[in-house]
Structure 1
Protein backbone atom coordinates (compact mmCIF):
# COMPACT_ATOMS: atom_id res chain seq x y z
CA UNK A 1 0.00 0.00 0.00
CA UNK A 2 2.85 2.33 0.82
CA UNK A 3 4.38 1.79 -2.61
CA UNK A 4 1.10 2.52 -4.31
CA UNK A 5 0.55 5.64 -2.25
CA UNK A 6 4.05 6.89 -2.96
CA UNK A 7 3.69 6.68 -6.75
CA UNK A 8 3.03 9.97 -8.53
CA UNK A 9 -0.43 10.05 -10.03
CA UNK A 10 -1.03 10.72 -13.69
CA UNK A 11 -2.49 14.11 -12.80
CA UNK A 12 0.80 15.19 -11.25
CA UNK A 13 2.37 15.23 -14.70
CA UNK A 14 0.83 18.59 -15.36
CA UNK A 15 1.47 20.09 -11.92
CA UNK A 16 4.36 22.46 -11.21
CA UNK A 17 7.37 20.44 -10.23
CA UNK A 18 6.12 17.31 -12.05
CA UNK A 19 7.94 15.56 -14.90
CA UNK A 20 6.25 17.77 -17.50
CA UNK A 21 7.55 20.99 -15.95
CA UNK A 22 11.04 20.04 -14.91
CA UNK A 23 12.52 21.88 -17.90
CA UNK A 24 12.60 25.66 -17.94
CA UNK A 25 10.89 27.54 -20.72
CA UNK A 26 14.21 28.72 -22.12
CA UNK A 27 15.59 25.18 -22.24
CA UNK A 28 12.40 23.93 -23.89
CA UNK A 29 12.66 26.58 -26.61
CA UNK A 30 16.33 25.78 -27.13
CA UNK A 31 15.46 22.11 -27.63
CA UNK A 32 12.76 22.74 -30.22
CA UNK A 33 14.62 25.69 -31.77
CA UNK A 34 16.56 23.66 -34.37
CA UNK A 35 13.36 21.93 -35.51
CA UNK A 36 11.53 25.24 -35.81
CA UNK A 37 14.46 26.72 -37.73
CA UNK A 38 14.51 23.77 -40.10
CA UNK A 39 10.74 24.10 -40.62
CA UNK A 40 11.11 27.81 -41.30
CA UNK A 41 14.03 27.51 -43.73
CA UNK A 42 13.01 24.28 -45.45
CA UNK A 43 9.25 24.71 -45.67
CA UNK A 44 7.73 28.08 -44.79
CA UNK A 45 10.29 30.28 -46.55
CA UNK A 46 10.14 28.40 -49.90
CA UNK A 47 6.33 28.50 -49.86
CA UNK A 48 6.36 32.22 -49.08
CA UNK A 49 8.86 32.75 -51.90
CA UNK A 50 6.62 30.81 -54.31
CA UNK A 51 3.58 32.88 -53.38
CA UNK A 52 5.54 36.11 -53.76
CA UNK A 53 6.92 35.02 -57.13
CA UNK A 54 3.45 34.13 -58.40
CA UNK A 55 1.93 37.46 -57.34
CA UNK A 56 4.67 40.08 -57.63
CA UNK A 57 6.44 40.27 -61.02
CA UNK A 58 7.59 42.83 -59.79
CA UNK A 59 4.29 44.56 -58.95
CA UNK A 60 1.12 42.84 -57.81
CA UNK A 61 -0.14 40.85 -60.80
CA UNK A 62 -2.68 38.01 -61.06
CA UNK A 63 -1.86 37.15 -64.67
CA UNK A 64 -0.51 33.71 -63.81
CA UNK A 65 -3.66 32.77 -61.90
CA UNK A 66 -5.95 34.15 -64.61
CA UNK A 67 -4.03 32.05 -67.12
CA UNK A 68 -4.86 28.91 -65.16
CA UNK A 69 -8.55 29.79 -64.96
CA UNK A 70 -9.03 31.09 -68.49
CA UNK A 71 -7.30 28.24 -70.35
CA UNK A 72 -9.23 24.95 -70.06
CA UNK A 73 -6.14 22.79 -70.59
CA UNK A 74 -4.69 23.79 -67.23
CA UNK A 75 -7.94 23.16 -65.40
CA UNK A 76 -8.06 19.78 -67.13
CA UNK A 77 -4.55 18.97 -65.90
CA UNK A 78 -5.56 19.97 -62.37
CA UNK A 79 -8.67 17.81 -62.48
CA UNK A 80 -6.71 14.86 -63.89
CA UNK A 81 -4.09 15.19 -61.15
CA UNK A 82 -6.67 15.07 -58.35
CA UNK A 83 -8.56 12.25 -60.06
CA UNK A 84 -5.42 10.14 -60.35
CA UNK A 85 -4.37 10.95 -56.76
CA UNK A 86 -7.80 9.98 -55.43
CA UNK A 87 -7.88 6.80 -57.52
CA UNK A 88 -4.41 5.80 -56.29
CA UNK A 89 -5.43 6.46 -52.68
CA UNK A 90 -8.57 4.35 -52.99
CA UNK A 91 -6.73 1.53 -54.77
CA UNK A 92 -3.96 1.58 -52.16
CA UNK A 93 -6.52 1.34 -49.36
CA UNK A 94 -8.46 -1.48 -51.01
CA UNK A 95 -5.27 -3.47 -51.62
CA UNK A 96 -3.37 -2.41 -48.51
CA UNK A 97 -5.93 -2.88 -45.75
CA UNK A 98 -6.31 -6.67 -46.21
CA UNK A 99 -2.51 -7.01 -46.29
CA UNK A 100 -2.14 -4.98 -43.10
CA UNK A 101 -4.93 -7.00 -41.46
CA UNK A 102 -3.24 -10.27 -42.39
CA UNK A 103 0.11 -8.99 -41.12
CA UNK A 104 -1.45 -7.93 -37.80
CA UNK A 105 -2.89 -11.41 -37.29
CA UNK A 106 0.48 -13.12 -37.73
CA UNK A 107 2.72 -14.14 -34.88
CA UNK A 108 5.66 -11.94 -33.99
CA UNK A 109 8.30 -13.70 -36.13
CA UNK A 110 6.11 -14.04 -39.21
CA UNK A 111 4.90 -10.46 -38.78
CA UNK A 112 8.55 -9.31 -38.74
CA UNK A 113 9.18 -11.18 -42.02
CA UNK A 114 6.09 -9.66 -43.63
CA UNK A 115 7.08 -6.18 -42.44
CA UNK A 116 10.57 -6.67 -43.86
CA UNK A 117 9.04 -7.61 -47.22
CA UNK A 118 7.02 -4.38 -47.22
CA UNK A 119 10.11 -2.36 -46.31
CA UNK A 120 12.10 -3.97 -49.12
CA UNK A 121 9.42 -2.82 -51.56
CA UNK A 122 9.52 0.63 -49.97
CA UNK A 123 13.29 0.88 -50.24
CA UNK A 124 13.37 -0.13 -53.91
CA UNK A 125 14.08 2.89 -56.13
CA UNK A 126 10.99 4.42 -57.72
CA UNK A 127 12.79 4.63 -61.06
CA UNK A 128 13.46 0.88 -61.06
CA UNK A 129 9.88 0.01 -60.21
CA UNK A 130 8.56 2.36 -62.88
CA UNK A 131 10.80 0.80 -65.54
CA UNK A 132 9.65 -2.63 -64.37
CA UNK A 133 6.08 -1.68 -65.26
CA UNK A 134 7.25 -0.54 -68.69
CA UNK A 135 8.79 -3.98 -69.25
CA UNK A 136 5.57 -5.66 -68.12
CA UNK A 137 3.03 -3.50 -69.96
CA UNK A 138 4.72 -2.45 -73.20
CA UNK A 139 3.49 -3.69 -76.57
CA UNK A 140 5.94 -6.61 -76.62
CA UNK A 141 6.03 -6.89 -72.86
CA UNK A 142 5.43 -9.82 -70.55
CA UNK A 143 1.68 -9.31 -70.14
CA UNK A 144 0.91 -9.06 -73.85
CA UNK A 145 3.15 -12.03 -74.66
CA UNK A 146 1.43 -14.21 -72.06
CA UNK A 147 -2.05 -13.21 -73.24
CA UNK A 148 -1.12 -13.95 -76.86
CA UNK A 149 0.40 -17.32 -75.98
CA UNK A 150 -2.77 -18.26 -74.11
CA UNK A 151 -4.84 -17.29 -77.13
CA UNK A 152 -6.82 -14.65 -75.25
CA UNK A 153 -5.87 -11.83 -77.64
CA UNK A 154 -4.75 -11.70 -81.28
CA UNK A 155 -3.00 -8.32 -81.27
CA UNK A 156 -1.10 -6.65 -78.43
CA UNK A 157 -3.17 -4.43 -76.19
CA UNK A 158 -2.24 -0.83 -75.39
CA UNK A 159 -1.55 -1.26 -71.69
CA UNK A 160 0.95 1.56 -71.19
CA UNK A 161 1.13 5.31 -71.74
CA UNK A 162 -2.39 5.87 -70.48
CA UNK A 163 -4.08 6.89 -67.24
CA UNK A 164 -4.74 3.33 -66.14
CA UNK A 165 -1.06 2.44 -66.33
CA UNK A 166 -0.17 5.55 -64.31
CA UNK A 167 -2.66 4.62 -61.58
CA UNK A 168 -1.41 1.03 -61.51
CA UNK A 169 2.26 1.97 -61.27
CA UNK A 170 1.69 4.71 -58.69
CA UNK A 171 -0.41 2.36 -56.56
CA UNK A 172 2.43 -0.15 -56.59
CA UNK A 173 4.91 2.52 -55.48
CA UNK A 174 2.70 4.03 -52.75
CA UNK A 175 1.20 0.82 -51.36
CA UNK A 176 3.75 0.52 -48.49
CA UNK A 177 2.78 4.01 -47.30
CA UNK A 178 -0.76 2.69 -46.82
CA UNK A 179 0.12 -0.70 -45.36
CA UNK A 180 2.54 0.37 -42.63
CA UNK A 181 0.36 2.96 -40.80
CA UNK A 182 -2.67 0.66 -40.89
CA UNK A 183 -0.55 -2.25 -39.67
CA UNK A 184 0.72 -0.15 -36.76
CA UNK A 185 -2.83 0.88 -35.84
CA UNK A 186 -4.12 -2.71 -36.03
CA UNK A 187 -1.27 -4.04 -33.88
CA UNK A 188 -2.12 -1.50 -31.18
CA UNK A 189 -5.72 -2.74 -30.83
CA UNK A 190 -6.03 -5.05 -27.79
CA UNK A 191 -7.29 -8.45 -28.87
CA UNK A 192 -9.43 -8.54 -25.73
CA UNK A 193 -11.83 -6.10 -27.38
CA UNK A 194 -12.54 -8.45 -30.24
CA UNK A 195 -12.75 -11.45 -27.90
CA UNK A 196 -15.23 -9.59 -25.71
CA UNK A 197 -17.39 -8.73 -28.72
CA UNK A 198 -17.33 -12.35 -29.91
CA UNK A 199 -18.23 -13.59 -26.44
CA UNK A 200 -21.24 -11.26 -26.39
CA UNK A 201 -22.59 -12.82 -29.56
CA UNK A 202 -21.09 -10.69 -32.33
CA UNK A 203 -19.97 -12.54 -35.43
CA UNK A 204 -16.60 -12.08 -37.08
CA UNK A 205 -17.97 -9.52 -39.54
CA UNK A 206 -19.79 -7.51 -36.87
CA UNK A 207 -16.75 -7.54 -34.57
CA UNK A 208 -14.62 -6.25 -37.43
CA UNK A 209 -17.08 -3.49 -38.36
CA UNK A 210 -17.77 -2.37 -34.77
CA UNK A 211 -14.35 -2.86 -33.17
CA UNK A 212 -11.41 -3.35 -35.55
CA UNK A 213 -12.34 -0.95 -38.33
CA UNK A 214 -13.21 2.07 -36.13
CA UNK A 215 -10.10 1.64 -33.97
CA UNK A 216 -7.90 1.38 -37.06
CA UNK A 217 -9.12 4.70 -38.48
CA UNK A 218 -6.05 6.65 -37.28
CA UNK A 219 -3.87 4.37 -39.41
CA UNK A 220 -6.27 4.67 -42.34
CA UNK A 221 -6.18 8.46 -42.01
CA UNK A 222 -2.38 8.54 -41.95
CA UNK A 223 -2.09 6.17 -44.91
CA UNK A 224 -4.67 8.01 -47.01
CA UNK A 225 -3.13 11.41 -46.34
CA UNK A 226 0.39 10.22 -47.18
CA UNK A 227 -0.70 8.43 -50.35
CA UNK A 228 -2.83 11.33 -51.54
CA UNK A 229 -0.20 14.00 -50.90
CA UNK A 230 2.59 11.94 -52.45
CA UNK A 231 0.39 11.12 -55.46
CA UNK A 232 -0.32 14.81 -56.06
CA UNK A 233 3.38 15.56 -56.39
CA UNK A 234 4.48 12.43 -58.25
CA UNK A 235 6.80 13.17 -61.15
CA UNK A 236 8.93 10.20 -62.23
CA UNK A 237 6.29 7.48 -62.61
CA UNK A 238 3.73 9.54 -64.60
CA UNK A 239 6.53 10.85 -66.82
CA UNK A 240 7.73 7.32 -67.64
CA UNK A 241 4.53 5.28 -67.67
CA UNK A 242 2.10 7.97 -68.81
CA UNK A 243 1.89 9.63 -72.17
CA UNK A 244 1.09 13.14 -73.42
CA UNK A 245 -2.55 12.53 -72.56
CA UNK A 246 -1.77 11.92 -68.89
CA UNK A 247 0.00 15.19 -68.11
CA UNK A 248 -0.29 16.03 -64.41
CA UNK A 249 0.54 19.14 -62.39
CA UNK A 250 4.03 18.06 -61.27
CA UNK A 251 5.10 17.40 -64.86
CA UNK A 252 3.49 20.66 -65.99
CA UNK A 253 5.36 22.62 -63.31
CA UNK A 254 8.63 21.03 -64.40
CA UNK A 255 7.99 21.97 -68.02
CA UNK A 256 7.11 25.56 -67.15
CA UNK A 257 10.14 26.01 -64.89
CA UNK A 258 12.87 24.21 -66.86
CA UNK A 259 11.75 24.31 -70.49
CA UNK A 260 9.63 27.46 -70.91
CA UNK A 261 11.31 29.33 -68.02
CA UNK A 262 7.94 30.76 -66.96
CA UNK A 263 8.72 30.85 -63.25
CA UNK A 264 5.71 32.99 -62.15
CA UNK A 265 3.30 30.57 -63.81
CA UNK A 266 5.11 27.57 -62.31
CA UNK A 267 4.94 29.28 -58.90
CA UNK A 268 1.21 29.89 -59.33
CA UNK A 269 0.64 26.22 -60.15
CA UNK A 270 2.69 25.21 -57.12
CA UNK A 271 0.77 27.58 -54.85
CA UNK A 272 -2.58 26.23 -55.99
CA UNK A 273 -1.32 22.69 -55.48
CA UNK A 274 -0.17 23.49 -51.92
CA UNK A 275 -3.48 25.15 -51.04
CA UNK A 276 -5.47 22.27 -52.52
CA UNK A 277 -3.32 19.77 -50.63
CA UNK A 278 -3.88 21.51 -47.29
CA UNK A 279 -7.60 21.69 -48.01
CA UNK A 280 -7.81 17.99 -48.75
CA UNK A 281 -5.89 17.17 -45.56
CA UNK A 282 -8.43 19.16 -43.56
CA UNK A 283 -11.27 17.38 -45.36
CA UNK A 284 -9.71 13.97 -44.57
CA UNK A 285 -9.22 15.05 -40.96
CA UNK A 286 -12.81 16.21 -40.60
CA UNK A 287 -14.22 13.09 -42.23
CA UNK A 288 -12.25 10.66 -40.06
CA UNK A 289 -12.75 12.68 -36.86
CA UNK A 290 -16.46 11.83 -36.98
CA UNK A 291 -15.52 8.31 -35.84
CA UNK A 292 -15.22 7.52 -32.14
CA UNK A 293 -12.19 5.38 -32.94
CA UNK A 294 -10.38 8.37 -34.42
CA UNK A 295 -11.54 10.79 -31.74
CA UNK A 296 -10.18 8.50 -29.05
CA UNK A 297 -6.60 9.33 -30.00
CA UNK A 298 -7.07 13.10 -29.60
Structure 2
Protein backbone atom coordinates (compact mmCIF):
# COMPACT_ATOMS: atom_id res chain seq x y z
CA UNK A 1 0.00 0.00 0.00
CA UNK A 2 1.39 3.39 -0.99
CA UNK A 3 1.35 6.55 1.09
CA UNK A 4 -1.86 8.56 1.10
CA UNK A 5 -0.19 11.52 -0.55
CA UNK A 6 2.97 11.95 -2.54
CA UNK A 7 4.08 15.04 -4.40
CA UNK A 8 6.99 17.33 -5.18
CA UNK A 9 6.90 20.63 -3.26
CA UNK A 10 8.02 24.05 -4.49
CA UNK A 11 11.66 23.34 -3.56
CA UNK A 12 11.76 20.14 -5.61
CA UNK A 13 11.60 17.84 -2.58
CA UNK A 14 9.58 14.64 -2.94
CA UNK A 15 7.17 14.59 0.02
CA UNK A 16 5.00 11.69 1.23
CA UNK A 17 3.06 10.51 4.24
CA UNK A 18 -0.40 9.73 5.64
CA UNK A 19 -2.38 12.97 5.58
CA UNK A 20 -1.96 15.35 7.41
CA UNK A 21 1.55 14.20 8.38
CA UNK A 22 4.76 14.30 6.38
CA UNK A 23 6.81 11.22 7.21
CA UNK A 24 9.14 10.98 4.20
CA UNK A 25 11.16 13.42 2.12
CA UNK A 26 13.68 12.81 -0.64
CA UNK A 27 15.89 15.27 -2.53
CA UNK A 28 19.28 15.68 -4.15
CA UNK A 29 22.15 17.22 -2.25
CA UNK A 30 25.02 17.64 -4.67
CA UNK A 31 25.57 14.23 -6.22
CA UNK A 32 23.83 12.20 -3.54
CA UNK A 33 20.20 11.38 -2.84
CA UNK A 34 19.06 12.22 0.70
CA UNK A 35 16.26 10.22 2.32
CA UNK A 36 14.57 11.85 5.33
CA UNK A 37 12.28 9.63 7.41
CA UNK A 38 10.43 11.05 10.40
CA UNK A 39 11.17 8.28 12.91
CA UNK A 40 14.85 8.10 12.03
CA UNK A 41 15.10 11.88 12.18
CA UNK A 42 13.68 12.31 15.69
CA UNK A 43 15.64 9.37 17.11
CA UNK A 44 18.91 10.14 15.30
CA UNK A 45 19.05 6.81 13.45
CA UNK A 46 20.80 6.13 10.14
CA UNK A 47 22.30 9.60 9.99
CA UNK A 48 24.15 8.94 6.75
CA UNK A 49 20.87 8.60 4.86
CA UNK A 50 20.14 12.22 5.86
CA UNK A 51 23.70 13.42 5.09
CA UNK A 52 24.40 13.91 8.81
CA UNK A 53 27.36 11.55 9.20
CA UNK A 54 29.75 14.47 9.83
CA UNK A 55 27.38 16.65 11.89
CA UNK A 56 27.55 16.79 15.72
CA UNK A 57 25.22 14.33 17.45
CA UNK A 58 23.14 15.64 20.37
CA UNK A 59 23.21 13.34 23.39
CA UNK A 60 19.51 12.52 23.06
CA UNK A 61 20.12 10.95 19.65
CA UNK A 62 23.18 8.93 20.61
CA UNK A 63 23.39 5.14 20.50
CA UNK A 64 23.62 4.93 24.29
CA UNK A 65 20.57 7.16 24.87
CA UNK A 66 18.44 5.09 22.47
CA UNK A 67 19.67 1.87 24.09
CA UNK A 68 18.75 3.08 27.57
CA UNK A 69 15.27 4.06 26.39
CA UNK A 70 14.73 0.48 25.19
CA UNK A 71 16.27 -1.03 28.34
CA UNK A 72 14.08 1.03 30.67
CA UNK A 73 10.97 0.13 28.67
CA UNK A 74 12.03 -3.52 28.95
CA UNK A 75 12.30 -3.23 32.75
CA UNK A 76 8.80 -1.80 33.05
CA UNK A 77 7.40 -4.42 30.66
CA UNK A 78 9.01 -7.23 32.64
CA UNK A 79 7.45 -6.01 35.89
CA UNK A 80 4.02 -5.84 34.25
CA UNK A 81 4.55 -9.36 32.90
CA UNK A 82 5.50 -10.49 36.42
CA UNK A 83 2.49 -8.80 38.03
CA UNK A 84 0.01 -10.25 35.55
CA UNK A 85 1.61 -13.72 35.79
CA UNK A 86 1.33 -13.65 39.60
CA UNK A 87 -2.31 -12.56 39.27
CA UNK A 88 -3.06 -15.63 37.16
CA UNK A 89 -1.72 -18.04 39.80
CA UNK A 90 -4.32 -19.85 41.96
CA UNK A 91 -5.26 -18.10 45.24
CA UNK A 92 -4.27 -21.24 47.15
CA UNK A 93 -0.62 -20.25 46.73
CA UNK A 94 -1.24 -17.35 49.10
CA UNK A 95 0.33 -14.55 47.04
CA UNK A 96 -0.94 -11.29 48.52
CA UNK A 97 -2.86 -9.02 46.16
CA UNK A 98 -1.14 -6.03 47.75
CA UNK A 99 2.27 -7.38 46.74
CA UNK A 100 1.09 -7.87 43.15
CA UNK A 101 -0.24 -4.31 43.02
CA UNK A 102 3.13 -3.02 44.25
CA UNK A 103 4.81 -4.89 41.37
CA UNK A 104 2.47 -3.18 38.91
CA UNK A 105 3.19 0.24 40.43
CA UNK A 106 6.93 -0.35 40.29
CA UNK A 107 6.54 -1.33 36.64
CA UNK A 108 4.70 1.90 35.82
CA UNK A 109 7.70 4.01 36.93
CA UNK A 110 10.12 2.77 34.22
CA UNK A 111 7.31 3.15 31.67
CA UNK A 112 6.95 6.82 32.56
CA UNK A 113 10.71 7.37 32.65
CA UNK A 114 11.33 5.81 29.24
CA UNK A 115 8.27 7.50 27.74
CA UNK A 116 9.55 10.91 28.79
CA UNK A 117 13.07 10.19 27.50
CA UNK A 118 11.53 9.27 24.17
CA UNK A 119 9.34 12.37 24.16
CA UNK A 120 12.40 14.51 24.92
CA UNK A 121 13.85 13.29 21.62
CA UNK A 122 10.73 14.31 19.72
CA UNK A 123 10.53 17.67 21.50
CA UNK A 124 14.08 18.51 20.41
CA UNK A 125 14.03 17.10 16.90
CA UNK A 126 15.31 19.76 14.51
CA UNK A 127 13.16 21.17 11.74
CA UNK A 128 13.56 19.79 8.24
CA UNK A 129 16.10 21.69 6.17
CA UNK A 130 17.72 21.30 2.78
CA UNK A 131 21.06 21.95 4.49
CA UNK A 132 21.40 19.02 6.93
CA UNK A 133 23.87 19.55 9.73
CA UNK A 134 23.68 23.35 9.58
CA UNK A 135 23.77 24.86 13.11
CA UNK A 136 20.49 26.29 14.35
CA UNK A 137 21.10 29.75 15.74
CA UNK A 138 19.60 30.37 19.17
CA UNK A 139 18.20 26.86 19.54
CA UNK A 140 17.50 25.91 23.16
CA UNK A 141 16.58 22.68 24.89
CA UNK A 142 12.84 21.95 25.01
CA UNK A 143 11.39 19.73 27.74
CA UNK A 144 7.91 19.28 26.25
CA UNK A 145 7.80 21.23 22.99
CA UNK A 146 4.87 21.87 20.72
CA UNK A 147 4.91 20.13 17.33
CA UNK A 148 1.29 19.12 16.65
CA UNK A 149 2.02 18.54 12.95
CA UNK A 150 4.53 15.82 13.84
CA UNK A 151 3.15 12.29 14.21
CA UNK A 152 6.19 11.39 16.31
CA UNK A 153 5.73 14.27 18.75
CA UNK A 154 2.01 13.51 19.14
CA UNK A 155 2.80 9.81 19.62
CA UNK A 156 5.41 10.31 22.32
CA UNK A 157 3.37 12.98 24.11
CA UNK A 158 0.20 10.87 24.29
CA UNK A 159 2.28 7.90 25.44
CA UNK A 160 3.91 9.95 28.20
CA UNK A 161 0.55 11.23 29.46
CA UNK A 162 -0.80 7.67 29.27
CA UNK A 163 2.00 6.40 31.50
CA UNK A 164 1.11 9.03 34.10
CA UNK A 165 -2.45 7.70 34.06
CA UNK A 166 -1.03 4.21 34.70
CA UNK A 167 0.98 5.63 37.61
CA UNK A 168 -2.30 6.82 39.16
CA UNK A 169 -4.08 3.57 38.33
CA UNK A 170 -1.41 1.29 39.82
CA UNK A 171 -0.75 3.49 42.87
CA UNK A 172 -4.45 3.60 43.78
CA UNK A 173 -4.56 -0.17 43.35
CA UNK A 174 -2.06 -0.70 46.21
CA UNK A 175 -4.69 0.32 48.78
CA UNK A 176 -7.78 -0.48 46.76
CA UNK A 177 -11.03 1.00 48.11
CA UNK A 178 -13.82 -1.44 48.91
CA UNK A 179 -16.74 0.37 47.25
CA UNK A 180 -17.19 -0.59 43.61
CA UNK A 181 -17.86 2.92 42.29
CA UNK A 182 -14.78 4.30 44.07
CA UNK A 183 -12.70 1.53 42.48
CA UNK A 184 -14.07 2.49 39.07
CA UNK A 185 -13.17 6.16 39.55
CA UNK A 186 -9.80 5.70 41.27
CA UNK A 187 -8.48 2.58 39.51
CA UNK A 188 -10.47 1.62 36.42
CA UNK A 189 -10.92 5.11 34.95
CA UNK A 190 -7.18 5.99 34.94
CA UNK A 191 -6.51 2.54 33.46
CA UNK A 192 -9.02 3.20 30.67
CA UNK A 193 -7.59 6.68 29.99
CA UNK A 194 -4.04 5.32 29.91
CA UNK A 195 -5.04 2.46 27.61
CA UNK A 196 -6.78 4.81 25.17
CA UNK A 197 -3.78 7.14 25.08
CA UNK A 198 -1.43 4.19 24.58
CA UNK A 199 -3.52 2.97 21.67
CA UNK A 200 -3.57 6.42 20.05
CA UNK A 201 0.18 6.75 20.60
CA UNK A 202 0.92 3.33 19.12
CA UNK A 203 -1.12 3.99 15.98
CA UNK A 204 0.53 7.38 15.45
CA UNK A 205 3.95 5.70 15.76
CA UNK A 206 2.79 3.04 13.31
CA UNK A 207 1.71 5.47 10.59
CA UNK A 208 4.83 7.57 11.15
CA UNK A 209 6.99 4.53 10.46
CA UNK A 210 4.84 2.87 7.79
CA UNK A 211 4.25 6.12 5.90
CA UNK A 212 0.59 5.19 5.43
CA UNK A 213 -2.53 4.45 7.46
CA UNK A 214 -1.73 0.78 6.98
CA UNK A 215 1.25 -1.01 5.46
CA UNK A 216 2.68 -4.52 5.86
CA UNK A 217 6.52 -4.41 6.14
CA UNK A 218 7.46 -7.37 8.39
CA UNK A 219 11.11 -7.37 7.29
CA UNK A 220 11.69 -3.77 8.42
CA UNK A 221 13.01 -3.49 12.01
CA UNK A 222 11.33 -0.15 12.74
CA UNK A 223 8.01 -1.54 11.46
CA UNK A 224 8.40 -4.62 13.67
CA UNK A 225 8.85 -2.35 16.71
CA UNK A 226 5.80 -0.19 16.13
CA UNK A 227 3.63 -3.13 15.05
CA UNK A 228 4.35 -5.28 18.11
CA UNK A 229 3.78 -2.24 20.33
CA UNK A 230 0.44 -1.62 18.59
CA UNK A 231 -0.61 -5.23 19.29
CA UNK A 232 0.42 -4.73 22.92
CA UNK A 233 -1.70 -1.60 23.22
CA UNK A 234 -4.73 -3.42 21.79
CA UNK A 235 -4.24 -6.09 24.47
CA UNK A 236 -4.01 -3.41 27.19
CA UNK A 237 -7.21 -1.84 25.85
CA UNK A 238 -9.06 -5.17 26.05
CA UNK A 239 -7.76 -5.69 29.60
CA UNK A 240 -9.06 -2.26 30.64
CA UNK A 241 -12.50 -2.87 29.13
CA UNK A 242 -13.10 -6.24 30.79
CA UNK A 243 -11.89 -5.18 34.26
CA UNK A 244 -14.66 -2.62 34.84
CA UNK A 245 -15.93 -3.14 38.38
CA UNK A 246 -19.73 -3.77 38.35
CA UNK A 247 -22.12 -2.99 41.18
CA UNK A 248 -22.92 -6.67 41.63
CA UNK A 249 -20.79 -9.83 41.68
CA UNK A 250 -17.80 -9.69 39.38
CA UNK A 251 -17.74 -12.64 36.91
CA UNK A 252 -14.67 -14.79 37.53
CA UNK A 253 -13.66 -14.83 33.86
CA UNK A 254 -13.12 -11.05 33.71
CA UNK A 255 -10.17 -11.12 36.07
CA UNK A 256 -8.55 -14.02 34.22
CA UNK A 257 -9.21 -12.38 30.85
CA UNK A 258 -7.90 -9.02 32.02
CA UNK A 259 -4.67 -10.41 33.47
CA UNK A 260 -4.08 -12.64 30.45
CA UNK A 261 -4.42 -9.61 28.17
CA UNK A 262 -2.11 -7.63 30.44
CA UNK A 263 0.50 -10.39 30.19
CA UNK A 264 0.13 -10.47 26.39
CA UNK A 265 0.42 -6.67 26.13
CA UNK A 266 3.43 -6.48 28.44
CA UNK A 267 5.10 -9.31 26.50
CA UNK A 268 4.62 -7.35 23.28
CA UNK A 269 6.11 -4.26 24.92
CA UNK A 270 9.06 -6.31 26.12
CA UNK A 271 9.72 -7.56 22.59
CA UNK A 272 9.37 -4.03 21.24
CA UNK A 273 11.82 -2.76 23.85
CA UNK A 274 14.34 -5.46 22.98
CA UNK A 275 14.03 -4.60 19.28
CA UNK A 276 14.50 -0.92 20.17
CA UNK A 277 17.76 -1.81 21.88
CA UNK A 278 18.84 -3.54 18.66
CA UNK A 279 17.71 -0.55 16.61
CA UNK A 280 19.90 1.74 18.73
CA UNK A 281 22.94 0.29 16.96
CA UNK A 282 22.01 2.38 13.89
CA UNK A 283 22.48 5.62 15.88
CA UNK A 284 25.80 7.45 16.17
CA UNK A 285 28.10 6.32 19.02
TM-score (norm 2): 0.29
Larger of the two Rg values belongs to structure: 1
The answer to which structure has the higher helix fraction is 1
The answer to which structure has the higher strand fraction is 2
TM-score (norm 1): 0.28
